[in-house]
Amino acid sequence: MTKNTGRSTSYIRQPGNGNPIHLHIPGDTPIHLHVNQKTQVSRMPSSATPKTSDTSQYQAPWVPPPGKTSSGRYVYDPTRRVRMKSNERKPRSRSVESISDVHKDFIQLNDMESDKEPQDQYSKQFSPHGNISMQEQPYSSVKDKETIKPIYIAGKNKDFEGRLNDGSLLTNVVLDEWIKDLDTATNHIAKSARNIVDCLEQVAYEGRRVDSHDMSRIVQPRDELLLHAEVAGCAGRELCRWASSIQQQQDQILNNRLAQTQNREATLTSEVRRLTEKLGRMEVDLELARKQLDEQQNESLKFNTVHESMESVKNHLQRQLRQRESECSRLSVQVRNLETRLAEQQAQNQARLETAEVSLERMRETKEALKRAAKSQKRRADEAEEAYREISHKLATQESIIAGFQTELENCALRSRGRSKERQLNDVGIMHDGGIVDSNKSMYANGDKSLREENLRLREVASKCEQRLHAAEEELQHLRTSLSTCEALLNDYHGDAAMQASRLHTLNERLKVI
C-alpha cells in the first residue's frame, strides 16, 4: 500500500462501442495494459440464460504488507503489473435470477485456483520485475504437506529460540491490516453484487431487452466483483499460509526449548547423582569421626575439668549456631520479600513507563496541533490587521472627501449670504435716494433675476453636497462598523493566539519535566 500517491486517469476507447474504460491508478505505480481489440456485442432472447467466463479477465496480485524484524528493515516495492483485457460482452436475459451466475463464476474460480500448483518461493510474490501470478495454494493443501519450509517475515533464516517477543514474527498490526483488506474486498463484492441486482431488477421492471448500456453497467460491477473476490481469496490463502508458517516456527521454538529443558534436566540429574555420592563419602567420614569422638570421650572421662569446659564451649557454640540459623532464615525471608517487591516495583515502573510514553506521544501530537493552530491564528490575525489598515485608509480618504464637501458648502453659503447683504444694501440706498428710478428698474430686475438664478444654483449645489455628505456619512458609519468588527475579530484572534501560546508553553514545560 503506497502512501502519498497521485491519481492518474487514462481513457481507452474500444472499437466495438463508444464507452471508455476509466483507470484510476496511483501515480508512482507502473502498469502494463494489454487491450484486446476484438469486441462483440450481441443480443439474445429474454429466455436465454447469460453465461460468464470461467476465469477472471483482470489479474491483480495481492501483496501482503511486510512485517517488522529486529535485524533490519525490509524495503517494500509497490511495483505491480496488471493485465487488462476488454471484456467480450455476452447477452443477458431480462431475468433477475441471472445474478446466480455471478456466484457460480466465483465458485468455479475458487475450484480452478485450488487445482493450480502453488508457488514454491515466497520471494516471487514481492519481485518487482518478475511475472506475478495469481496461482496460490489453498490452506488445506498447505496443511496436508509434512515438510513445509518456515517463512520468516522480511528477515533472515536465523535461530528463533528465545525471540518470540523481538518483533520477528507477524504482529497484530499487520494482521489487522490484512483483515481490513479482506473486509474491504468483501464490502466491494457486496456492493458490486448489489449494483448488478439493481441493474437487473431495473431491466426486469422496465420489461425491455438488455442493451449495450445495460451490459456496460452489468459487466463493470461483475468484473469488480470477480476481481475483489479473487483478491479476497488470495488474501485469505496468504493469511492461512502465514499462520501455518508461524505455527511451524512456534512449534520449532517449543521443540528447541523442550530439548534444552531435557538437557538441563539431565545435567541436573548428573549433578544430583554426584552430590549423592559425595554425601555418602561424607557420611563415611562422619562415621569415622564419630568413632574417633567416642574414643576421645572415653579418654576425656579421665579429665573432668577439660570435659566441663568443652561442654560449656559446645553449648555456647550451639547457641551461636541457632542464632545464626535463625538470622539466616530471617534474612532469606527478607530477601524473598525484597525480590517480590522488586518484581512488583518493576512491573509498576514498566506500566508507568508505557503510560508516560503514551502520554508523551499524545502531548507531542497536541503540541503539533497547537503549533498549527497558532500558525493559522497568526495568519488570520495578520489578515485582519491588513483589512484593518485598508479600512482605516478608506476611512481617512472618506473623511478627507467629506471635509472638502463641507468646506465647499460653507464657501457657497458665505457667498450667498454676501450677495444677499449687498442686495439689501442696494435696496436701502435706493429708498434713501427718494424712490425707485425708472432708468434703473431694468438693472435691478436683471440683478434680481441673476440673484435668483444664482440662489437656485447654490441651492442645487447645496442639495447635491448634502446628498453626497449624507452618503459619505452613511459610508463612514458603515466603515466604522466594519472597523469595530475587525477590531473585535483582531482582539479575539490576539486572545486566541495568547491562549494557544500559553497552552503551548505549558505543554513545553510538561514535556521538559517528563
CATH code at position 408: 1.10.287.1700
pLDDT-derived band at 33 (thresholds 50, 70, 90) equals: low
Residue finishing a domain among 217, 252, 277: 277
- Lowest-confidence range among 71-80, 137-146, 369-378, 398-407? 137-146
Is 293 a member of any domain?
Answer: yes
* Grid cell at residue 409: 458648502
Cα separation of 485 and 488, whole Å? 5
* Grid cell at residue 318: 550451639
Beta-ladder partners of 13: 20
Q: Which residue has 511475472 as its cell numbers?
A: 131
Residue finishing a domain among 259, 277, 295: 277
Cα separation of 373 and 494, whole Å? 13
Is 138 a member of any domain?
Answer: no
Q: Do 152 and 102 fall within a single domain? A: yes
Mean pLDDT to the nearest integer, 277-288:
91
Distance of CA 474 to the CA centre of its chain: 53
Cα separation of 97 and 487, whole Å? 69
Beta-ladder partners of 20: 13
Residue finishing a domain among 255, 277, 299: 277
Is 462 a member of any domain?
Answer: yes
- pLDDT tops 70 at residue 467: yes
* Grid cell at residue 54: 470461467
Whole-prediction pTM value? Answer: 0.24
- Lowest-confidence range among 66-70, 219-223, 465-469? 66-70
Q: Do 365 and 459 fall within a single domain? A: yes
Q: Are 71 and 146 in contact (CB under 8 A)?
A: no
- Lowest-confidence range among 83-92, 267-276, 401-410, 503-512? 83-92
Is 200 a member of any domain?
Answer: yes
Is 452 a member of any domain?
Answer: yes
* Grid cell at residue 393: 485608509
- pLDDT tops 70 at residue 337: yes
Is 450 a member of any domain?
Answer: yes
Instruction: Kindly report the number of other CB atoms within 10 A of residue 430's CB atom.
Output: 14
- pLDDT tops 70 at residue 34: no
Cα separation of 41 and 259, whole Å? 68
Give the pLDDT confidence of 418-463 residue by residue, as tens digits: 777 776 776 666 555 544 444 455 555 565 666 677 767 767 777 7
Report DSSP state, residue 146: S
Q: Do 229 and 289 fall within a single domain? A: no
Q: Do 190 and 244 fall within a single domain? A: yes
- pLDDT tops 60 at residue 46: no
HSE-up (13 A, CA, CB side) for residue 81:
13
Q: Do 432 and 446 fall within a single domain? A: yes
Q: Do 427 and 464 fall within a single domain? A: yes
Give the pLDDT confidence of 303-335 residue by residue, as tens digits: 777 778 778 888 889 998 999 888 888 888 988
- pLDDT tops 50 at residue 154: no
Q: Do 483 and 464 fall within a single domain? A: yes
Q: Which residue has 429474454 as its cell numbers?
A: 46
pLDDT of residue 285: 92
Q: Do 314 and 439 fall within a single domain? A: no
* Cα-based distances in Å from 438 to 308, 424, 443: 179, 19, 10
Cα separation of 353 and 199, whole Å? 58
Q: Are 36 and 86 in contact (CB under 8 A)?
A: yes
Report DSSP state, residue 125: G
Q: Which amino acid is at 479?
A: L
Q: Do 304 and 394 fall within a single domain? A: no
**Which of left, alpha, beta for 462 (phi over 0: left; psi -120 to 50: alpha)?**
alpha
**Residue 462 burial (CB < 10 Å; 0-12/13-18/19+)?**
middle
Beta-ladder partners of 12: 21
* Cα-based distances in Å from 308 to 105, 290, 303, 317, 319: 107, 19, 9, 14, 17
Q: Do 149 and 241 fall within a single domain? A: yes
Task: Output Rg (C-alpha) for the chain, integer angstroms.
Answer: 50
Please report, rounded to a whole number, the percentage of residues in the chain having pLDDT higher than 90: 4
pLDDT of residue 64: 55
Cα separation of 246 and 514, whole Å? 39
Terminal-residue alpha carbon distance, the chain: 36
Report DSSP state, residue 302: T
- pLDDT tops 50 at residue 178: yes
Query: Of all helices (H) and strands (E), which one includes residue 12?
Result: strand 7-13
Query: Of all helices (H) and strands (E), which one includes residue 22?
Result: strand 20-26
Beta-ladder partners of 10: 23
Q: Are 63 and 39 in contact (CB under 8 A)?
A: no
Which residue range forms the structural domain that includes residue 444? 361-513
Cα separation of 171 and 329, whole Å? 46
Beta-ladder partners of 24: 9
Is 72 a member of any domain?
Answer: no
Give the pLDDT confidence of 195-247 residue by residue, as tens digits: 778 877 777 777 777 677 777 777 777 777 777 777 777 777 777 777 788 77
Is 52 a member of any domain?
Answer: no
Q: Are 22 and 11 in contact (CB under 8 A)?
A: yes
Instruction: Kindly report the number of other CB atoms within 10 A of residue 244's CB atom.
Output: 17
Q: How many domains does the chain have?
A: 3
Q: Do 366 and 324 fall within a single domain? A: no
Torsion of Cα atoms, 139 then 145 then 148 then 154, to 10°: -10
Nearest residue to 98 via CA among 227, 210, 21, 206: 210
pLDDT-derived band at 263 (thresholds 50, 70, 90) equals: very high
Q: Do 104 and 167 fall within a single domain? A: yes
Cα separation of 148 and 249, whole Å? 11
Alpha helices in 171-211 (DSSP H): 172-206
pLDDT of residue 78: 43
